[in-house]
Amino acid sequence: MIEARDNVGFGKIGIGGMGESVYCVQHGDVAAVVSKTPVFIFDPTRENALAHEHVIETVMKSNTIIPMSFGTVFRTDDDIREVLKSIYPSLKDVLKQMANKLEFGLKVTWDRDRIVEELKRENEEIHRFQHELTRKHLQSTYFARMQLGRMIDKALSERAAEVVREIYDGLRTVCVASRDNKVIGDKMIMNAAFLIQKDKETEFDAAVNAVAQKFGDRLNFKYTGPWPPYNFVNIRLKLERGSAN
């Protein structure tokens, strides 16, 4: 969804591989960017996801976008206009807030085994406990392993929180807002989204590189974007009328 008073076209780049035109369905000065398609649920295959992403990238070049979920389908243009009408005040407010802003994603992982070995050497409590186990020949007992495991898990959580705070501290001055997302697996320690002013993109990129260089090969940074503000927009669509047809 974008601000648009005129019926803007974006070319024959619609999803589904049928060369459908991507165009605007308007209500006043807001519009949904759409293409014609049969009424069915699109599977999130790589081909469909890439087509969806290509449309987003094309529209983003000249517009502030409020993204909708992949595979959202309406029966008619009039149904779309009804939705735009129902959310118009919220949509205008969010478009104003998100004007000239982009989202970037940052995932940070580490070599867990390497960090565990560092903690065994550097953490005084763990080091002392291990030394005591060795002295008493208790390394192989179930209780000893469980207690050591709990100590290591606690230290890992504390170290991860400390590292994540340092990363945020290095990026806070060049972003408008940030959001934590759930980490995946035991190697990922950070999964965050950052909202950036469009004219600060170069500064944010430099700040991410500076933080990454600070940690060297101890951390792996996966930096993605720009995206529409997926993590910073929450508009509830009133779809009752469309679903009743």
pLDDT band at 39 (very low <50, low <70, confident <90, very high): low
Pick from 36-45, 65-74, 89-98: least confident: 36-45
pLDDT band at 241 (very low <50, low <70, confident <90, very high): very low
8 A C-beta contact, residue 204 and residue 196: yes
Residues contacting 173, CB < 8 A, separation 6+: 207
Average pLDDT over the chain, rounded to whole? Answer: 86
d(CA 22, CA 72): 14
User: What is the predicted pLDDT for the residue at 244?
Assistant: 36
d(CA 211, CA 234): 30
| Burial class for 182, CB neighbours closer than 10 Å (0-12, 13-18, 19+) | exposed
Rounded to 10 degrees, the C-alpha dihedral 34/38/42/47 comes to -80
d(CA 188, CA 167): 14
User: What would the mean pLDDT of 120-143 be, rounded to a whole number?
Assistant: 71
Task: Tokens for 22, please give them.
Answer: 């991507």
d(CA 105, CA 224): 5
Inter-CA distances, 126 with 87, 117, 129, 143, 162, Å: 56, 11, 5, 15, 18
pTM of the full predicted structure?
0.81
Phi, psi dihedrals of residue 5, rounded to the nearest 5°: -95, -25
Reported as a single tens digit per residue, the pLDDT across 78-111 is 999 999 999 999 999 999 999 999 999 999 999 9
What letter would DSSP give residue 75? S
Task: Tokens for 81, please give them.
Answer: 């206009």
d(CA 50, CA 15): 9
* pLDDT at residue 140 tops 90: no
* pLDDT at residue 245 tops 60: no
User: What is the predicted pLDDT for the residue at 152?
Assistant: 86
Reported as a single tens digit per residue, the pLDDT across 11-26 is 888 877 677 899 999 9
